[in-house]
Structure 1
Amino acid sequence: MPLPFGFKLKRTRRYTVSSKSCLVTRIQLLNGEFVEFTLSVESTGQECLEAVAQRLELREITYFSLWYFNKQNQQRWVDLEKVLKKQLDKHGQEPTVYFGVLFYIPSVNQLQQEITRYQYYLQLKKDVLEGKISCSLDQAIRLASLAVQADFGDFNRYDSQDFLQKFALFPIDWIQDERVLEEATQKVALRYQSLRGLPASDAEMLYMQEVEKMEGYGQESYQAKDSTGTDATLGSCLDGIVVKYKNGRPPLLFRWDEINNMTHNRSFFALELTNREESVQYQTEDMETSKYVCRMCLARLKFYKINKSNNLYMNTQNGFYYHSQTSLDRFPMEYGSGGRLRNGSVYSAHSTSSLTNPQHYLQPSPMSSNPSITSDITRPDFVPSHRHSVH
């Protein structure tokens, strides 16, 4: 029905605020779902993160944060201490914010809450499919079969392997040859059949235990030049700050224990080391980038120092990375009654430490002075009913 007097409704953007004091924030979760929150225009990134955690029933918030695409289409983590709207208005390409894992840990066995493990699994699967983690063809097949078991449950012979071709099993643009792709998909289907009876949570854990040993796990990289002007990739990893060269020079690793401080000046990012009088400098793209790299690396240094005194970093003398091509093969795929792994539970879903050590959940985020969210959910293994919805 036409509106009277030629009156026309003005089309508005989806994310316009309902009032000057409110902001509707759209956030994409790790399962692909979009959720919206109505926040104050003065809300910080931390307050937005806490709203997401409350929606997910997530108590171990320490490992997670929010990110956005900047105007150069680069991923940038939100500064949790600052007003979210100002950051998006100044730097954001779009109003959408993304939820994800910021602080990776040496062993996924340390994750105590079931929903934490599920979110962590979704992040690692995303990292693998986006090509951020290097893997061989055999590893990719093993990971894909575990992901299918985790996401879809037991193999149904009536499904055959046809349905597998509709889903992303391997890293983007990784397999160009159609014949190789078909053979790899057939191998995934066969391995998937062999996983019948494996609970989704165990499939996810085996997936994560494989990925945590692979190159690229937990790394975030930035382009830079060293003091000689040589192109390098500057990255933070679980061990410290790693510098990789394209010209064949061996990589450098500055361990967290060797780093006193990190600073930025104009486009330069500097490491102050315990065993050197002079700092080690790297030049980034511009002043904004050096400031960002410094903030993120300092956050990871702080996270390391906070967690160094507990069990999170107890087995790190030889580094975190064990580049095994067959590490999953060392886990016998044998199950006892109820589908549990015969060598005992891979993790303790009802870990007593999660109940007797509340600071594990409530410790402040290394990027914020505000305490993390507290939840009235008392069971550490509580999982929402839509846990394995596939998007």
Structure 2
Amino acid sequence: MNKYIHVQRAVGYEKSRTEMIRQDILAGRLPCSFVTHALLGSYLVQAEIGDFDSSEHGTTGYLAEFTFAPQQSQQLLDKVRELHKTHKGQTPAEAELHYLENAKKLAMYGVDLHPAKDSEGVDIMLGVCASGLLVYRDKLRINRFAWPKILKISYKRANFYIKIRPGEFETFESTVGFKLSCHRQAKRLWKVCVEHHTFFRLMTPEPPQRQGLLPRLGSKFRYSGRTQYQSRGDEVLEEMLEEDGRGDEVLEEMLEDKEEMAEEMRC
């Protein structure tokens, strides 16, 4: 591949990631402190308009076109302007990189949230991430199930279940259940968990099962993409782009699967 094209694709990919994170922050899906809002905002400004110029940026008026937080204040704009001064000399690509590096430090970065209820009917949020399945109540994390501890992931109608490996002083496996709003949401959560569990925990994907003449009801999806182990040593950007394409095809096939229609009729 032409080196110039490779660099251009890399820059475009970083910009799209920055925009997705920015939208999550503005929507409140990625909570930030005041200082983090200001720091990320200053890198965003550096990437968009370049170095601070005292003759043009004498007041915070030059920041009027930007939105850095769900609830923006004059105090925040003052802090963004102050930090913008310190980034002199950074190229747009460097500023984008600093933005991403700091965004990755946020507690909720990379967590895919799903509203649910626990066994007592209390509203919670289930977060799927690289390390495992997280449980939040009132925006506080109250539990974590690491992927190595999870033996089985399943769903039935609107219920989602995980089977947990017994602890050091335990004899039997245990099953923890959660209730989603509907069958589709439970199945969506299950698929996301299967993908994460396979990608981050297994060195080799499960081989595709041989299919008989008749379709079988129930949850049969298996993630068939490359795992983290297999992806090492490759060109990271191209692998990620290729994976995105295959992932879309897999999801389309799953959504069109006749088994989903049969499952819907059973509910």
Alignment of 1:260-275 (within 5 A): 260-275=151-166
What stretches of structure 2 of length at least 5 have no aligned partner? 167-171, 203-225, 252-267
TM superposition score normalised by structure 2? 0.69
What stretches of structure 1 of length at least 5 have no aligned partner? 1-56, 60-111, 176-180, 313-351, 371-391
Q: How far apart are the structure 2 equivalents of 1:295 and 1:198? A: 41
Q: How far apart are the structure 1 equivalents of 2:149 and 2:248? A: 21
Q: Which residue of 2 aligns with 1:252?
A: 143
8 Å Cα contact 1:225-1:284 kept in structure 2: yes
- Higher fraction of helix: 2
Q: Which residue of 1 aligns with 2:88?
A: 196
Q: Which has the higher contact order (CA 8 A, sep 6+)?
A: 1
Tell me the secondary structure at the aligned position of residue 144 of structure 2: strand
Alignment of 1:1-391 (within 5 A): 113-160=10-57, 161-169=60-68, 171-172=69-70, 174-175=71-72, 181-246=73-138, 251-275=142-166, 277-304=173-200, 305=202, 306-309=226-229, 354=235, 362-363=242-243, 365-366=246-247, 368-369=249-250
1:310 Cα offset (Å): 5.7
1:358 Cα offset (Å): 6.6
Q: Which residue of 2 aligns with 1:101?
A: none
Q: Which amino acid aligns with 1:354?
A: E
The two structures, once aligned, show a CA RMSD in angstroms of 3.1
1:361 Cα offset (Å): 5.3
Q: How far apart are the structure 1 equivalents of 2:239 and 2:31? A: 34
Question: Alpha carbons of 1:358 and 1:283: their partners in 2 closer, same or farther (altered >3 Å)?
Answer: closer
Q: How far apart are the structure 2 equivalents of 1:277 and 1:146? A: 48
Percent identity, aligned pairs only, is 21
Aligned residues: 214
Q: How far apart are the structure 1 equivalents of 2:11 and 2:139? A: 44
8 Å Cα contact 1:299-1:367 kept in structure 2: no
Q: Which amino acid aligns with 2:163?
A: E
Q: Which residue of 1 aligns with 2:258?
A: none
Q: How far apart are the structure 1 equivalents of 2:48 and 2:187? A: 39
Tell me the secondary structure at the aligned position of residue 161 of structure 2: strand
